[in-house]
Structure 1
């Protein structure tokens, strides 16, 4: 192989190497972008998990309060019925 053939081969190898390095660099940039998006998704997911836990706690508290109110309403209703029966009884005796 003559000197020009070696130089041409070297130039072609260098060009292939440069192209391979450019593809590798692009792949690295793509991977970095995907990793950043994945990290944002992980952060968002963690935030949603925390929000879900907070909402579940609030729901439990609200449910407990609703039960207490329901129990109180039932007790008030029972007492009203008893009071009405007492009033009827007293009215029946005075007639």
Structure 2
């Protein structure tokens, strides 16, 4: 009976260990993409609109054909002065 109880305990631990290993592998594979300097086409366009708002070049986006609600762009523009880095973190 003692062996059956030990076997039941080791199985969930092995499953948990495999699950943690799988999660860490997924994080390890996705982590370099955070620092990659590639933008999706929409992401780059939205970042450009937010930058126009942040630097007061076109704060109402009158000269741009915007087909989305502008709240996202205004919120993103708030973070440009706070996170102004060459890596483009405010745009992400």
The structure having more radius of gyration, on CA atoms, is 1
Q: Into which bin does the TM-score normalised by the smaller protein fall?
A: 0.3 to 0.5
TM-score for the superposition, normalised by structure 2? 0.39
TM-score for the superposition, normalised by structure 1? 0.38
Larger helix proportion, structure 1 or 2? 1
